[in-house]
Structure 1
Amino acid sequence: MIFLLSVKGFSFSPVSQSVLLVAIGLLFVLLVVHVYAQRGVSISERRRRLFVGLRVLALLCVVLALLRPVLILEADESTRPRVFLLLDNSGSMKLPYAPSSASDSGFSRMDVAVGAARSLLEILPSKYETSIFSFTDSLRELDAALQEGLSEKGGARSALGSALEELASRAGAKPAAAVLISDGSSSFGPDPSGVAKRLRFPVYTVTAAREGALRDIEITDVLCPASGYAGTEVPVFVRVKGHGLENLDTPVNISEEGTIVSRGLLKLAGSAETQVSLSVKPRSGGLHFYRVSIPPVGGEISDVNNAVSFPLRVLSERLRVLYLQGDLSWDFTFVKRHLESDPRLEATFSLISDRKAALPAAGPFSTASSADIEQSSVVVLGDGAIGRIGVETWRDLEDFVSSGGGLLIIGADGLSEIPAVARNVLPAHVREHRLWGSKQNLSCELTFEGLRHAICDVERDASSIAESWKDVSPLVGSHSLEKAKEGSAILIEAKGGEERFPVVVAGSYGRGRVMLVAASGIWRWGFTLPAVGGSERLFDRFVSNSIWWLSSSEEESLREVRPTSWVFQNGEEVMFVARGEGHGQRLDLKVTDETGKLLVPALTEPSGADTVKVSFGTLGPGTYDYSASFGQEERSPGSEGRFVVDDAGPEYRSLFPDPGLLAYVSEASGGKFFRADEVDELAREIETFGERAAVVRQIRLWNHPLLLAIFATSIALEWWLRRRSGLP
């Protein structure tokens, strides 16, 4: 509806110079007048003037068309604002609205949210263009009655930031506002706080949960080695929080296939984290799945986070590691201590140094031979060893790796002295020594390849992995590596001054694998990080992952089809990585659930020359079997197995509502925060939003249909009158 219409002016864009056009027009007018002024023509004065007027009118239409005028109008126009009603449908919304002691604790957060939404829908549609959506990990449009589109169980993820971003794309340039009804939980996607700052419309937030003392047992972490060997005890550390529960003894059990294999007792300390030490003793080799569980306590808000599954790969014999060290160093001390403490490893140490006799306390050491290298699974070259082993030993190492062994090099000293015959083993190109520069502290950053690599997998999920590597202590070194070789992965980059260059690189050679840490000081990751709030497991997991990754031959992975995790959290994307699809051989991957139902992949995409990623999206909790083959080939080892999707997931890590986040989102976007019983006030508040806007319109007169109609009418009428008057 338009209120005040006003003419702002005219504009012209003539085909030629305007003065020339006007002059031509005037000449035409004078010519017309002159022609009809000839007295030799026998017509009345009145008709003569009519002929002149019609001819002038037609010529004026031509002149206007050549001048191309545009009429500019401005209108003060009212708009009908668009309002988005956004309803949180994640799993946490199925939890009680209030603590168990409250009178309204029988209602879920979703019950309260739906009630608030229905109250708003009685008011908003009559005044605003209203669209209703629910969200978990994506938006889903709802009907006005809220009858369809809401999941009974609730989604396994809450992507609040992603939902706001998608709303922004739907809003476009039209005035809009959003009403968000949620408990404030955001377990997936971008940070809602950052998204809110970039929005061009206000978000009015409504909290659908009441704060208060909640009772909940939460298993926050399970620490266990990635592998062990049959007949040997494997330690398991379980960390637990007991929100609202203090000084309560609770049993902690570990079970395998429904049978309890380990028991313990833990005293809860409220929201403070406590730990209990347990162990399992697998009898056979292979992949084992265990489940840690704590019986629910009366009044708990949820028992979903009372249980967590974890995998354990069991080996039939210990892994042999040969460590060749040049000089004693802190790196050697920390790595040696880790290798000796791991019961899955059989480590042998050999010191290659002229000062060996002066270091009696550093033993025991042995002298390494070609046979020792050949009988090992992984060989480690420490500080100073690179430049002290001879050409023959390098040839032995090259044969060892080429045949399927693993080689770990720690430190850059001596890299430039490696014989040319052995340089092909390295996963990166080494710069000329004169270009290295002086040693300095190197600020390290995990690369995208490193984030997805098994060596850097020090936490349970990708976001935690990135956080753990965020503030690692610097290493000491110089710019010794040029770039990674083809097929190798740069896991960690270093920054020295203005330069960025690889410092940790992993790759393959022949049937084996090689890893290079071209700096020193990794011991700091196990010494200083916990003191400054870092991950206490980063050093141990990094060294352990490196050894076990190197122990797997590259030949085994050439036809490897495995899930990216053996235990997925509820709501986590189930992804497979298949290596070997190529040369016309098509991957045949089958995944079945506990009922035997065959599942269809959600997405299959290439990821490299012979690698394919297969996504099954998010699957429900349970145990799944898989089998894979390439073309008509028989299934290779590792192409059959199973994986588990846990009951718990990111949505259940913290069950407490977060009204503070909702308040920040509303403040950052220009909206306002409300509680569930204040929706009437919200409806009044939103009425003040964007009622009028000035709209500028332009009307092109030169090609307007009316101008053409006037021109044609004047010409036709003149011709008809001339014929009636007997004129030619």
Structure 2
Amino acid sequence: MTRASTARAVLRATAILIAFAGLADPVVSINRVPRPAVTIVTAVAGDDAGSRAALAKSIRGDAELTERLPAGVRLPCVRDRPCIVIADGSVEFDLPSDRHAMTSLVRVLPRGGPNVAVSSVEVGARQHSAAAGSIRVHLTGIAVNGRKTDVRVMDGAVVVGSATHAWSADGVVSIDVAWWPIADGVRVLRIEAIAADDEVSTADNGVEAAVTVHGERVRVLFYEPRPSWTSTFVRRALEDDPRFAVESRARLGPLLTAGTPAARLDTAALQSAGVVIVGAPDALGPSEVALLDRYVRVRGGTLLLLPDRAPAGAASSLFPGIWTEHLTAVAEEVGPLKATEILRRSNTEVTDVVLGASSGMPAIVMSPAGNGRVLVSGAMDAWRHRGTNGNGFDRFFRGVLAELGQPRGELTIDMPASLVTAGSTVPFQVRSRRMQPAATETILATVLCGGGATGTVRVWPTGEPGGYAGEFPAATVGTCRLDVSVADGPSSSAGVAVVTAPRRDRAAALLSLERLAVATGGVAVVAGEEQQVGDRIRAQERPAAARTVVRPMQSPWWILPFAICLAGEWWLRRRDGLR
């Protein structure tokens, strides 16, 4: 047998074997470890093919990859499968609270420069229409040394605030921008850093925030068991401010008091007071101390103590911590105030907020107490020096009390965000605070969105005394107003702005994804560190090998060697002159 005839026989036999195997269709059982199916979600302004390619390389066939793009606010990760999110913070997802599958984050940062990004903003949810507001803007600058950035606040097409920052080095800076309301209601403010002509990216130059502008006045009750100079001048500062409705009562003798008609230190007056200010608290009696303590701890009110001597008597229980008196010959700065007679606190807790210090020791301290809080001003004779620091005395007490008095009404509504996406669900919490908590309460809640009809909202107890929770749908673009009332009692309202795609600060969006990664056992890395994500995918526990039944001859690829064998055998026969 020649070499050519041998080759023809081998090719013919191989083709026949393939044909018979295909007809027989044998079944083969093998043990196989299934590869995890991993979803890659790309949520960046523009394209980021580099991170996707780096992730594919880091996993190197250890997983089956599926790529998805965000659609709306839902995180497009498969419920029970690992997920990798590539994000720059430009998209804020409505993260599921019940997600347990491993989720990792790859943070994409601006490359090159120059670039200025508004990383986050701090703005109050409520702003009085008769006063200027302040927004703290956090900027991140890359390759901007020696440049200037203009920051402006827009309400629609109107510029309501602006500021300029001169960069001396790259990094993160914070600037305060004053702004002025132009109308009542829920206002959507756009805070933007004006982009330079050669800026790398303008997608991160602005964020939006919603603020409720209102004309409500904070009811402030002054009480002086003994006439107090400090209390007198704080009261005068607030009386000239349209944000406050001031009531006062001073005890001039055992049976003699003076003040406004509605000012009394009793349960009814304390129930409606947003802030209570006590001058000369050392002269308080035991019954007055008990009433104020109940106002703070049960009613959830704010109490400001303005002492003019060291704590003594029954009022000592109202002072958090240990306070000692110090006298100086020259007035010292105590935060924004100046004083020579100073109370200093020797110990503070983690939950305390220090607003002013003297010689490194806390002197103006706010401390939580029960449902409320107590603010002690240790600058006892600051009223003497109120004209030496540019009217800082008046500005300090007006600003602090305007902030502290806002959320302390009898009925308060808390929402996690004042700017929401159309089609989302808005959760809220209601707190009913009373000096004498009722055994039962009837809470009525309604919501009005846009020009639609008013709808009733169901609320349910949270387990906390006087606490209730609920949610309502924000279906259409515009504003939604939630009205809550207690039957035969107080009422309150709150609003949210509903937009198609809110531009929130990127830091908050990335932080929520980072928390999800930590909670689910994933990792949060920056672009360029994708190998760590691949290592975490490989390190997770794999399922046990499973017996898999396969039919190898059903693969369409067998047609290729079958055709090659037939064609080769035919060509050899033709070459040798055979049929």
Q: Please show how residues 395-414 of structure 1 align to structure 2 within 5 Å.
A: 396-398=264-266, 401=269, 404-406=272-274, 408=276, 413=282
Q: Identify the residue that residue 315 of structure 1 maps to in structure 2.
A: 215
Cα offset, 1:308, TM superposition: 3.0
- 2:78 is aligned with 1:141: yes
Distance 1:563 1:605 in 2: 16
8 Å CA contact 1:88–1:181 kept in 2: the answer is no
Partners of 1:655 and 1:420 in 2: CA distance: 47
**What is the RMSD of the two structures over their aligned residues, measured on CA atoms?**
6.7
Identity of aligned residues (%): 11
1:417 to 2:340 alignment = no
**Residue aligning to 1:227:** 127
Match of 1:156 among 64, 68, 92: 92
Equivalent position to 1:183, from 106, 127, 147:
106
- Aligned residue runs from structure 1 range 433-452, under 5 A: 439=322, 441-446=346-351
Match of 2:428 among 560, 570, 576: 576
Secondary structure of the residue that 2:348 maps to in structure 1? strand
CA contact (8 A) 2:189 2:211 kept: yes
Deviation, structure 1 residue 577 = 2.6
After superposition, the C-alpha distances for 1:531-578 in whole angstroms (9 at most, x for unaligned) are: xxxxxx99987643433445x4x3xx3xx7674554469999832234
* 2:41 aligned residue: 89
Preserved contact between residue 262 and residue 279 of structure 1 (Cα < 8 Å): yes
In the TM superposition, residue 260 of structure 1 has moved relative to its aligned partner by 0.6
Give CA-to-partner distance per residue, 1:450-496, whole Å, 9 cap, x none. Answer: xxxxxx9x9xxxxxxxxxxxxx986899xxxxxxxxxxxxx956xxx
Gap change, CA 1:234 and 1:421, over 3 Å in 2: closer
The answer for the alignment partner of 2:100 in structure 1 is: 166
1:647 maps to 502
Q: Equivalent residues in 2 for 1:5-404 (5 A)?
A: 89=41, 91=43, 94-95=44-45, 108-109=47-48, 111-118=49-56, 123-125=61-63, 140-141=77-78, 155-157=91-93, 166-167=100-101, 182-184=105-107, 212-213=112-113, 215-218=115-118, 220-221=120-121, 226-229=126-129, 232=130, 234-237=132-135, 239=137, 241=139, 243-244=141-142, 245-249=144-148, 251-256=150-155, 258-262=156-160, 264=162, 266-269=164-167, 270-273=170-173, 275=175, 277-280=177-180, 282=182, 288-298=187-197, 299-315=199-215, 322=222, 324=224, 326=226, 339=238, 344-345=243-244, 369-370=258-259, 372=260, 374=262, 396-398=264-266, 401=269, 404=272
* Separation of aligned partners in 2, 1:292 and 1:413: 47
Structure 1 residue 614 and structure 2 residue 473: aligned? no
Match status 1:546 vs 2:404:
yes
For 2:65 and 2:133, the matched residues in 1 are separated by 54
Aligned residues of 1:157 and 1:651 also touching (Cα < 8 A) = no
CA contact (8 A) 1:84 1:132 kept: no
What's the TM-score, normalizing by structure 1? 0.42
Mark the runs of 5 or more structure 2 residues left unpaired by the alignment: 1-29, 299-312, 324-345, 383-394, 433-437, 545-579
Letter of the structure 1 residue corresponding to residue 506 of structure 2: E
Q: Which amino acid aligns with 1:544?
A: A
Cα pair distance change 1:516/1:290, threshold 3 Å: closer
Counterpart of 2:349, as a letter, is C
Q: Kindly provide the amino acid, as one letter, of the partner of residue 404 in structure 2.
A: S
- The structure where helix makes up a greater share of residues is 1
- Decide whether the 8 Å contact of 1:561 with 1:639 is kept in 2: yes
**Take 1:268 and 1:621, find their aligned partners in 2: how far apart are those partners?**
41
Rate the CA distance shift 1:671–1:82 in 2: closer, same or farther, 3 A.
farther
CA, structure 1 residues 643+563, in 2 after alignment: closer, same or farther (shift >3 Å)? farther
Counterparts in 2 of 1:598 and 1:88: CA distance versus 1, 3 Å = farther
The higher-RCO structure (CA 8 Å, 6+ apart) is 2
Residues in 2 aligned to 1:139 and 1:622: alpha-carbon distance in whole angstroms: 23
Higher strand share: 2
Which residue of structure 2 lines up, in the alignment, with residue 624 of structure 1? Answer: 479
Name stretches of at least 5 consecutive residues in structure 1 with no aligned partner: 1-77, 97-107, 169-179, 185-207, 355-366, 377-395, 448-455, 459-471, 478-490, 494-503, 507-514, 527-536, 694-728
- Secondary structure of the residue aligned to 1:418 is helix
Partner Cα distance (2:186, 2:440) in 1: 31
| Structure number with bigger Rg | 1
Q: Following superposition of structure 1 onto structure 2, how do residues 413-492 of structure 1 map, counting pairs within 5 Å?
A: 413=282, 417-418=286-287, 426-427=295-296, 439=322, 441-446=346-351, 492=367
* Count, aligned residues: 437
Query: CA deviation digits over 1:605-640, x for unaligned, max 9?
Result: 5224664312459x7996432455789x99996558
SS of equivalent to 2:201: coil
Letter in 2 for 1:156: E
Q: Which amino acid aligns with 2:92?
A: A
Partner of 2:139: helix, strand, or coil? strand
SS of aligned partner of 2:50: helix
